[in-house]
Structure 1
Amino acid sequence: MASPTSVRTVPAARRDPAFVRVSVALQTLAVFFQASTAGLLLVSHHGEVLHGAGARVMYGASMLYVLAAVLAWRPGRGPARPIGYALGFLALASVQVVLGVAHRPALHVPLGVLMFGLSVLDLARALYAGRREG
Structure 2
Amino acid sequence: MATQVSPTVNGRRHSLFLRSAGALQTLTIFLQAVSAGLLLTSAYGETLHSVGARVMYGATMLYVLAAVLAWKPGGGSLRPVWHASGFLVLASAQVLLGIAHVPSLHVPLGVLMFGLSVLVLVPRRSPTHAQDHRGGDGALT
Identify the TM-score tier after normalising by the shorter chain. 0.7 to 0.9
RMSD between aligned residues: 2.2
Give 2:96's aligned amino acid: V
Report Cα offsets for 1:85-119 as digits up to 9, x if no partner: 00000000000000000000011000000000000
Of residues 97, 105, 120, the one that matches 1:122 is 120
Give runs of ≥4 in structure 1 deviating > 4 Å: none
Report Cα offsets for 1:49-99 as digits up to 9, x if no partner: 110111000000000000010011126442110000000000000000000
Where does residue 84 of structure 1 map in the other structure? Answer: 82
TM score, norm. by length of structure 1: 0.80
Where does residue 66 of structure 1 map in the other structure? Answer: 64
C-alpha displacement at 1:44, in angstroms? 0.7
C-alpha displacement at 1:124, in angstroms? 1.3
Of residues 53, 56, 72, the one that matches 1:55 is 53
Give 1:88's aligned amino acid: G
Where does residue 103 of structure 1 map in the other structure? Answer: 101
Aligned length: 117
Q: Which has the larger radius of gyration?
A: 2
Where does residue 23 of structure 1 map in the other structure? Answer: 21
Q: Could you tell me how far apart the structure 1 residues matched to 2:51 and 2:32 are? A: 9
Give 1:47's aligned amino acid: G
Give 2:113's aligned amino acid: M
2:44 aligned with 1:43? no
Which runs of 5 or more structure 1 residues have no equivalent in the other structure?
1-11
* Higher mean C-alpha displacement, 71-80 vs 108-117: 71-80
Of residues 19, 30, 33, the one that matches 1:32 is 30
Report which structure shows greater RCO (CA 8 Å, sep ≥6).
1
Q: Could you tell me how far apart the structure 2 residues matched to 1:100 and 1:30 are? A: 16
